[in-house]
Amino acid sequence: MKKRIAILGASGYTGAELVRLIASHPQMQIVALSADRKAGLEMAEVFPFLRHLSLPRLCKIDEIDFAKVDLAFCALPHATSQAVIKALPRDLKIVDLSADFRLRDVAEYEKWYGQPHAAPDLQSEAVYGLTEFYREDIRAARLCAGTGCNAATGQYAIRPLIEAGCIDLDDILLDLKCGVSGAGRSLKENLLHAELSEGTYAYSAGGKHRHLGEFDQEFSKIAGRPVLVQFTPHLAPMNRGILASVYVKGDAKTCWAALEARYALEPFIEVLPFGALPSTRDIRGSNLCHIGVVADRIPGRTLVVAVLDNLTKGSSGQAIQNANLMLGLEESAGLMLAPVFP
């Protein structure tokens, strides 16, 4: 019997990506789709590319009978998920794609997101959803908090290096190029075609990006002491994808070996041969992350480059990977689609 799935916030990009991926999942069936402002519409009216699928009509959240749902994906905006999830049945398995439960310390959430946490009682049971590093915790979880897409990309490149003790923890520079879909589907002037195409710019510079809260939390936990990275994202004129260039002090061959060893058995993380560098073109539409390592001309300096699709491995694909674990399914089920190229 297939697992019954509800998607809350199905009219956004991550909601549509969940539908696209679950459509080919052998053990999941979508039984409810919510989108409050578009309630009553067919999914094909909101996303014509899904027209071939037989899907429930969009509805409001309070119209869903959660007694007939095995797991709910919450693809709602930040600060909305806390209130919504707080009102859902306490025995319902939930994978939240927003930032609302990523930071274990509610004071850190208020610091980075500018408002008090609305569901602190639930925060203690939320498990951070970076699958490859929290697999067993996620398997036993009721509430899983999906990572930020930038945070996931940076962590895949850096975490094994901190674990192996092969880099200088006080000199980590993280430069990201991000696809525009990471900003969501709502209308914003800076995302208009004429404003964005043919140009690239840095944003949230100077240590202001909210995903720094995740880097601080996770890297400091591994190291056993505070670790602060310098992180600047750049908005690139591409729809999907993230490319992270990570500059560290450490021997390049040692860094490559640490990554290769850590990810050797992971189905979705590919460490390229030493000296090869990845491209966002090669992971588009997939749940894959590619990582490359090269030595700099300056002795003792190394460049690590990681790429993933922000909507798939950085969000909805990761969410399904975690849901598979929570539901007792094969972790890779529904996620082995090849990337779309060109």
Q: Are residues 250 and 317 in the same domain?
A: no
Q: In what order do the strands lie in the sheet with 3-8?
A: 58-59, 28-34, 3-8, 71-74, 93-96, 143-145, 126-128
- Do residues 33 and 99 both lie within one domain? yes
Residues 50, 169 share a domain: no
Residue 333 belongs to a domain? no
Predicted confidence (pLDDT) per residue in 83-93, tens digit: 999 999 999 99
pLDDT of residue 303: 98
CATH code of the domain containing 188: 3.30.360.10
Alpha carbon distance 10, 33 (integer Å): 6
The number of distinct structural domains making up the chain is 2
| Terminal-residue alpha carbon distance, the chain | 37
Taking only the tens place, the pLDDT of each residue in 304-338 is 999 999 999 999 999 999 999 999 999 999 999 99
Q: Which pLDDT belongs to residue 20? A: 98
Q: How many helices, marked H, and strands, marked E, lie in the chain?
A: 11, 14
Same domain, 107 and 233: no
Active site residues: 149
pLDDT of residue 340: 96
Question: In the chain, pLDDT over 70 holds for what percent of residues?
Answer: 100
Q: Clarify whether residues 222 and 320 are in a common domain.
A: no
pLDDT in tens, 200-214: 999 999 999 999 999
pLDDT at 188 over 80: no
Q: What is the value of pTM for the model shown? A: 0.96
pLDDT of 121: 94
- Domain CATH for 320: 3.40.50.720
Tell me, yes or no, whether 111 and 225 share the same domain. Answer: no
159 and 196 fall within a common domain: yes
328 phi-psi bin (left φ>0, alpha ψ -120 to 50, beta other): left
Indicate whether 137 and 265 sit together in one domain: no
Q: Would you say residue 332 lies in a domain?
A: no
**Residue 241 included in any domain:** yes
pLDDT value at position 79?
Answer: 86
Q: Is 222 helix (H, G, I), strand (E, B) or coil?
A: helix
Q: What are phi and psi of 39, to 5 degrees?
A: -60, 135
Domain range spanning residue 192? 150-309
Mean pLDDT computed over every residue of the chain: 96
SS3 (DSSP) at 315: helix
Q: Is the pLDDT of residue 183 over 80?
A: no
pLDDT at 191: 78
Does one domain contain both 124 and 160? no
Looking at the structure, do residues 170 and 297 belong to the same domain, yes or no? Answer: yes
Average pLDDT of the segment spanning 180-185: 81
Same domain, 7 and 127: yes
Q: Is residue 341 part of a domain?
A: no
